[in-house]
């Protein structure tokens, strides 16, 4: 039976081997471990449903009138820590839906010069056991809240100087607790926590370190938002890396003090991702205008490294401003964290807009020209790869659930075909950065129309399938750290979007959350990005291709031109590169780079006139390619439009055709030996020692390509 099996195997392979085309290898390099999925935290507010803090006064609005606290603090005097120095009121919680189990006994405590009157406004509860410890000046009280409160407003009168250090502890919580158990449980699934909204990054007015909110302050929502100490403490409690955003106006001393705080407070086993501001390209946010104005003023008032190439392009200037500040912020953090921390514990993130990949080219070229090797300053690039509902939502108000899901599915499908991620993965490989990151992501259905059915769509099982497809494509495309936006609970009937994973913190079964959990707890998807090696590809399909590339002519290469391709090698291996080209000059050297390293030159000679192009193969150039994704670049030297490239073939280096190592080459016995071993038989002759059957050294054994390669080399042809 064994001999019969071997015979059928050999016959079937031999019969088909010359009919098959040389195919790309089917296996790809694999990420180690599980996909890195983190999350951003939604902004803290009295109306949010995340309920982060055990002390609910931390989510309250600024102090206001004791009779009408919802009107704000316009006439209330405050001390340096924003505690009221007169009678005042506070909107602690508002706009909560029923069924969240927020009722019960809340423990109130605060410092006051006397025993004041404390009231729960708008019938949100009753105050009991109000008393003051004259020795400490601490007033305590019980707030009895009904089962499903919509709001909690508090009023403090007769204070003789206001109240300080207020706490309103949730039922069952301890005074020493900062975060609610459910909040900790929900976020423990993520490996990185981003605090962009917690620290009120967008439009931040903060410039100096002493302007930030501190843990001792009354209000953690305005200004710089939640204190950085609290952000670090959360990551320490979770055991997760921290992702912080530096305010766009923050001066160097602010950055240095921030770095010292994180260095001294963060668990030394944890890392810090540092991002300068947030979406400085997005003119919906004040920081975009500010950076644009700063860059233009600098470049128009005198020489500036932002205009090192005299481009005169204001977009380039503002993008370079962002890149420069990212480098500077990263350097300051690395100085404070110490030698070896850059791109280790300290991870500067260069963020931009994925839909405009040219932006990253501009920023990276600036860093490379002015500062030096980008991977000495930048950990990874980042963007926000949302999938969206699209224009149909703005033109119709009667969309069904299925129509909404269909539109989102179209967006996912288009994203899977979009070459932008390939181009950005190639840029990442070229500059030897960590895999590209997503600072935000998920489905985006923001807009005032079709809200009830949008909400229902988020509970449909198709949403889970789409989110899984979306995340798998990200990781299979070479993406790294992915931050979902956001982890908490929000109202999915909001016109401002339903970005959160859940509507209620006690709901663990929404399709979005289930999709994230399944992806984050499974082996990483196979890395399918780039051209698999060994293999071949046509030159028109380069990483900068535009729509309609398949109708474009074969590239004509001139001075300063180059072509880049993303390639994917299953293992670190030595390959041979061949070019199919038409040469119109006596000699055109083509430089070949792998990830910014020049590895050699292929000389293209004259094949005929440009009016009658004749293509021939040139090469090989032997080079080593690391495992995983790399960028290969072909750059003619002084081409002067004297050549066209049509095809690139990258093949493995084949073994010797003396397969049985008897010292005789081009010996028919070697064919017998190869086919015998290929069919799991003995070497021929039996006493000889044969090589392995992975003849083309592509890491795959018993495949047709090995037989094809062996027969080609045996007939004095190339390995491929």
Model confidence over 309-325: pLDDT tens digits?
Answer: 999 999 999 999 999 99
Q: Do domains 56-174 and 531-652 have the same CATH topology?
A: yes
pLDDT of residue 72: 67
3-class state of residue 146 by DSSP: coil
Residue 264: which pLDDT band, with cuts at 50, 70 and 90? Answer: very high
Long-range Cβ contacts of 608-616 (<8 Å, 24+ apart): 608/582, 608/584, 609/584, 610/582, 610/584, 613/582, 613/644, 614/582, 615/580, 615/581, 615/582, 615/644, 615/646, 616/580, 616/581, 616/582
Question: What is the H or E stretch that residue 250 is in?
Answer: none
Token readout for 50 is 């995340």
CA 427 to each of CA 146, 191, 315, 483, 567: distance values in angstroms, whole numbers, following the listed order: 57, 25, 20, 21, 12
Cα atoms in the Cβ-side hemisphere of radius 13 Å centred on 313 = 10
Could you tell me how many residues make up the chain?
A: 720
Q: Span 531-652: which CATH code? A: 2.60.120.260
Find the range with the poorest average confidence among 4-18, 158-172, 521-535, 632-646.
4-18
Cβ partners under 8 Å of residue 588, min gap 6: 603, 604, 605, 636, 637, 638, 639, 642, 643
What is the arithmetic mean of pLDDT over 20-46? 64
Buried b (16+ CB within 10 A) or exposed e, 673-712: bbbbbbbebebbeeeeebbebbbbbbbeeebbbbbbbbbb
What is the arithmetic mean of pLDDT over 237-258? 98
pTM here?
A: 0.89
3-class state of residue 156 by DSSP: strand
Of 405, 508, 433, 421, nearest in space to 472 by CA? 421
Torsion over CA: 677, 678, 680, 681 (sign): negative
Decide: 253 and 259 in contact? Cβ < 8 Å: no
pLDDT of residue 138: 98
Torsion over CA: 450, 454, 456, 462 (sign): positive
Token readout for 45 is 């507010």
CA 470 to each of CA 35, 189, 410, 442, 463: distance values in angstroms, whole numbers, following the listed order: 13, 19, 12, 8, 10
Would you say residue 227 has pLDDT above 80?
yes
How far is residue 261's CA from residue 232's CA, in Å, rounded to a whole number? 9
How far is residue 331's CA from residue 223's CA, in Å, rounded to a whole number? 26
pLDDT of residue 579: 96
pLDDT of residue 32: 58
Would you say residue 101 has pLDDT above 90?
no
Would you say residue 85 has pLDDT above 60?
yes
What is the arithmetic mean of pLDDT over 130-148? 96
Of 525, 625, 629, nearest in space to 568 by CA? 629
Q: What is the DSSP letter of 205?
A: -
Decide: 416 and 469 in contact? Cβ < 8 Å: yes
Would you say residue 618 has pLDDT above 70?
yes
How does strand 443-444 pair with strand 387-388? Answer: parallel
pLDDT in tens, 51-74: 999 999 999 999 999 998 887 666
pLDDT of residue 123: 66
Q: In degrees, to the nearest 5, what angle opens at C-alpha 627 toward C-alphas 625 and 628?
A: 110
Q: Can you tell me which residue has the tokens 């055991």?
A: 239
How far is residue 303's CA from residue 365's CA, in Å, rounded to a whole number? 18
Q: Look at 362 and 611; give whichever has higher pLDDT.
A: 362
Helix, strand, coil percent content, the chain, rounded in steps of 5:
30, 25, 50
Other CB atoms within 10 Å distance of the CB of residue 358: 14
What is the arithmetic mean of pLDDT over 205-232? 93
pLDDT of residue 73: 61
Question: What is the H or E stretch that residue 37 is in?
Answer: strand 37-40
pLDDT in tens, 573-589: 999 999 999 999 999 99
Domain segments of the chain: what residues? 2-22+655-714, 56-174, 183-189+388-525, 197-277+280-383, 531-652
E-strand ranges in 497-615 read 531-533, 535-538, 556-557, 563-569, 573-583, 587-594, 597-605
pLDDT in tens, 654-707: 899 999 999 998 899 999 999 999 999 999 999 999 999 999 887 788 889 899
Residue 287: which pLDDT band, with cuts at 50, 70 and 90? Answer: very high
pLDDT of residue 717: 81
Would you say residue 28 has pLDDT above 50?
no
pLDDT of residue 19: 34
Token readout for 464 is 């889970």
Question: What is the H or E stretch that residue 117 is in?
Answer: strand 117-121
pLDDT of residue 653: 85
How far is residue 531's CA from residue 542's CA, in Å, rounded to a whole number? 11
42 class by beta-carbon count within 10 Å (0-12 exposed, 13-18 middle, 19+ buried): buried
How far is residue 401's CA from residue 164's CA, in Å, rounded to a whole number? 50
Mean pLDDT of all residues in the chain? 92
- CATH 3.20.14 applies to domain 56-174: no
Cβ partners under 8 Å of residue 473, min gap 6: 412, 415, 416, 421
Share of the chain above pLDDT 90, in %: 83
């Amino acid at each position: 039976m064994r001999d019969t099996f071997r015979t059928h195997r050999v016959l079937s392979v031999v019969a088909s081997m010359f009919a098959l085309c040389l195919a790309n290898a089917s296996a790809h390099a694999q990420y180690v471990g599980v996909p890195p999925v983190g999350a951003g935290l939604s902004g803290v507010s009295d109306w949010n449903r995340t309920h982060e803090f055990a002390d609910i006064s931390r989510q309250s609005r600024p102090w206001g009138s004791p009779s009408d606290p919802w009107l704000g603090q316009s006439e209330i005097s405050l001390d340096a820590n924003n505690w009221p120095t007169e009678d005042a009121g506070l909107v602690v919680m508002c706009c909560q839906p029923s069924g969240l189990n927020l009722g019960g006994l809340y423990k109130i405590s605060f410092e006051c010069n006397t025993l004041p009157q404390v009231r729960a406004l708008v019938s949100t509860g009753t105050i009991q056991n109000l008393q003051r410890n004259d020795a400490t000046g601490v007033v305590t009280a019980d707030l009895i809240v009904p089962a499903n409160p919509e709001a909690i407003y508090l009023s403090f009168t007769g204070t003789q100087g206001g109240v300080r250090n207020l706490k309103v502890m949730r039922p069952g919580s301890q005074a020493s607790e900062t975060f609610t158990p459910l909040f900790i449980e929900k976020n423990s699934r993520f490996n990185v926590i981003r605090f962009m909204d917690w620290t009120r990054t967008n439009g931040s007015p903060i410039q100096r370190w002493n302007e930030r909110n501190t843990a001792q302050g009354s209000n953690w929502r305005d200004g710089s938002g939640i204190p950085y100490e609290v952000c670090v403490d959360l990551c320490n409690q979770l055991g997760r890396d921290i992702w912080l955003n530096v305010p766009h106006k923050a001066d160097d001393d602010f950055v240095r003090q921030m770095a010292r705080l994180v260095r001294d407070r963060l668990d030394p086993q944890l890392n810090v991702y540092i991002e300068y501001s947030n979406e400085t390209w997005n003119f919906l946010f004040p920081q975009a205008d500010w950076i644009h104005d700063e860059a233009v003023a600098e470049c128009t008032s005198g020489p500036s490294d932002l205009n090192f190439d005299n481009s005169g392009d204001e977009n380039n200037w503002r993008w370079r401003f962002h890149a420069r500040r990212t480098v500077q912020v990263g350097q300051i953090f690395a100085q404070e964290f110490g030698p070896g921390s850059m791109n280790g514990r300290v991870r500067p993130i260069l963020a931009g807009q994925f839909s405009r990949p040219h932006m990253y080219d501009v920023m990276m070229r600036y860093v490379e020209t002015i500062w030096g090797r980008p991977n000495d300053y930048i950990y990874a690039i980042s963007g926000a790869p949302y999938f969206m509902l699209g224009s149909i939502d703005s033109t119709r108000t009667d969309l069904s659930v299925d129509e909404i899901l269909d539109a989102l599915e179209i967006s996912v499908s288009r994203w899977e075909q979009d070459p932008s991620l390939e181009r950005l993965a190639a840029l990442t490989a070229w500059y030897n950065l960590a895999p590209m990151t997503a600072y935000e992501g998920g489905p985006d259905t923001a807009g005032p129309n079709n809200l009830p059915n949008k909400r229902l769509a988020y509970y449909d099982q198709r949403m889970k399938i789409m989110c899984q497809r979306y995340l798998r494509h990200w990781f299979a495309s070479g993406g790294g750290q992915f931050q979902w936006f956001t982890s908490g609970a929000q109202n999915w009937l909001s016109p401002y979007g339903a970005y959160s994973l859940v509507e209620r913190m006690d709901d663990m079964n929404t399709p979005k959350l289930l999709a994230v959990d399944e992806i984050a707890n499974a082996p990483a998807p196979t890395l399918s990005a780039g051209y698999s090696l060994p293999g071949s590809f046509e030159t028109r399909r380069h990483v900068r291709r535009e729509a309609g590339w398949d109708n474009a002519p074969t590239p004509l290469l001139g001075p300063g031109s180059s072509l880049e391709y993303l390639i994917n090698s299953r293992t670190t291996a030595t390959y041979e590169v061949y070019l199919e080209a038409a040469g119109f000059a006596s000699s055109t050297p083509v430089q070949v780079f792998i990830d910014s390293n020049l590895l050699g030159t292929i000389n293209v000679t004259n094949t005929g006139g440009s009016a009658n192009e004749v293509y021939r193969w040139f090469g090989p150039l032997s080079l080593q390619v690391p495992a995983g994704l790399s960028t290969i670049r072909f750059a003619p030297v002084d081409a002067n439009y004297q050549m066209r490239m049509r095809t690139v073939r990258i093949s493995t280096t084949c073994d010797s055709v003396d397969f049985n190592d008897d010292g005789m080459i081009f010996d028919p016995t070697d064919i017998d030996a190869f086919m015998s071993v290929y069919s799991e038989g003995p070497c021929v002759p039996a006493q000889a020692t044969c090589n392995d059957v992975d003849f083309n050294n592509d890491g795959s054994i018993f495949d047709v390509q090995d037989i094809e390669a062996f027969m080609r080399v045996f007939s004095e042809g190339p390995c491929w």
